[in-house]
Amino acid sequence: MTAHPAKTPLRRDPKRAAFPSATEGTLDLRTVLAGFPNAAPLGGLDRAWTWSPVPVLRFAGALTADGARLLQTNQRGGHDEELARAVLAFAREHEEELTGKGRFITAAPGFSAAGYAFDAVAATVPEVHGHHRAQNPALTAVTHIVFPAYATEISGRESLAEAEARYQRMLRPAEIGREPVPFLKMSFHNPRTGVGSTNPGRALAYPRVLRREIPQLEGVPGGFVEFENRLGEVRRVEWDGGWVLSGGTEERRGMSLGELLDLTDESLRV
């Protein structure tokens, strides 16, 4: 009779990777997680563990309700176990919303943690995060990376390439002291400077780029900045003897540059 994997001691071959693995189709998440470097149960949350391969990196994970998938959160540099526990507990409560098929990155609003301004928890699919791919690709396939976020950062409509860009480069999701990076897609053209978009449509950008390019349009008829927020609302800024902000059902004129920039900032905070 074959012993149940959960009761079989995990042995590591020192000539192989330091992470435990399993044959596809027989992956036992409890055994795999318990065998990670410096693994220990995460207090206050059932079926959850913490581990740390190196001092600067701290990971925590919890099994989904059916025990078939892993919700994992990562912290780099600063570490807060209470925050990790809160993120995982919230992610488990909103599992269907965060891990449902059809979206590469998504967010569930309503999260809060003492000492932090985060108001959502976000999640990415295996195709986006790629964690564990080198040591245990079978684990990658059942892992969703979750992290504390801001509701303004995720639209839920991101393509695979856009979700990868948000997760891997723009949001810095493992840094618990980070500031929000509101979702923004934009295109622009400035005939005076010759600077403009090279992509065929609106592309992801940082809000600071929007604030940099708008003032450059002053006194430049024919130039424009077009931008989209996380709700898919599109607005356009032009110069026609004064600032013009259009989009939706309204057009506004006669604003100062400061008023215009305040309005654009406000449109990204929805």
> Would you place residue 130 in the very low, low, confident or very high pLDDT band (cuts 50, 70, 90)?
very high
Lowest average pLDDT, out of 22-31, 75-84, 128-137, goes to 22-31
- pLDDT mean over 64-79: 94
Q: CB of 184 within 8 A of CB of 226?
A: no
What whole-number distance in Å separates Cα of residue 232 and Cα of residue 243? 23
> Would you place residue 26 in the very low, low, confident or very high pLDDT band (cuts 50, 70, 90)?
low
Q: In Å, how far are 4, 31, 35, 97, 177 from 154, measured between CA atoms?
A: 41, 33, 34, 13, 18
- pLDDT mean over 37-63: 95
Q: In Å, how far are 28, 166, 168, 216, 259 from 171, measured between CA atoms?
A: 31, 6, 7, 27, 27
- pLDDT mean over 174-181: 97
pLDDT over 60 (residue 17):
no
Mean pLDDT, the chain, rounded, equals 89
Percentage above 70 pLDDT, the chain = 90
